[in-house]
Amino acid sequence: MPFDLTGKKVLVTGAGKGIERGVAITLCESGCKVYALSRTKGPLDTLVEEHPSIVPIVADVLNWDDTREKLEKPEALDGLVNNAGIAAIGYSAVDWTKESICKVLDTNLLSAINCTQVITKNMIKMKITGSIVNVSSLCGISSFPKTLPYVMSKAGMDMATKQFALELGP
């Protein structure tokens, strides 16, 4: 089913590879101006080679301030797809270290909150009604063995989505 998003501008986080890359390409092919954010330049370079209208942004979402600074520069956007994330599988719930848990929460949850804050503040300022899509997982509502920080991050993403919808929806 084709979509016509001509004239819309959307940021996709984690757009260097995987599902995120596919989302960026699909939006681009639907007429959308896409800003593609990834922590690594190489995958963004190949994405832009394939789709020259895509605007690359190299930023590591773990760096809160640098990400904010880079996201304040683009024009006002109509939307955001928060899809940056890392998988976390491997230890019993009693064996995860604080550092490992924090890295997953920072990457999968707090980075989405950071990006949403920056983009929506600009949308509000410019009186743009748009869409924020937060990509979660079945892991947000179910537990799986050896995935403590991942399921926590996805459950947090689900609740952050509800909170932003409650406050920004009106």
Kindly tell me if the per-residue pLDDT of 4 is higher than 90: no
Give the DSSP H or E segment for 42.
helix 41-50
Residue 103 banded pLDDT, cuts 50, 70, 90: very high
Report how far Cα 61 is from the mean position of its chain's Cα atoms.
9
Long-range contacts from 161-167, C-beta under 8 angstroms, 24+ separation: 161/132, 161/134, 161/136, 164/116, 164/120, 164/132
Q: How far apart are CA 110 and CA 105, in angstroms?
A: 6
- Percentage of the chain modeled with pLDDT above 70: 99
Residue pair 98/106 in contact (Cβ under 8 Å)? The answer is no
Share of the chain above pLDDT 90, in %: 86
Catalytic residue, from 14, 16, 81, 150: name it.
Answer: 150
Domains and CATH numbers, the chain: 9-165 (3.40.50.720)
Predicted confidence (pLDDT) per residue in 110-165, tens digit: 999 999 999 999 999 999 999 999 999 888 889 999 999 999 999 999 999 999 99
SS3 percent helix, strand, coil of the chain, rounded to 5, is: 50, 15, 40
| Residue 150: active-site member | yes
Please report the pLDDT score of residue 1 as a whole number: 57
CA angle 68, 83, 111 (to 5 degrees): 35
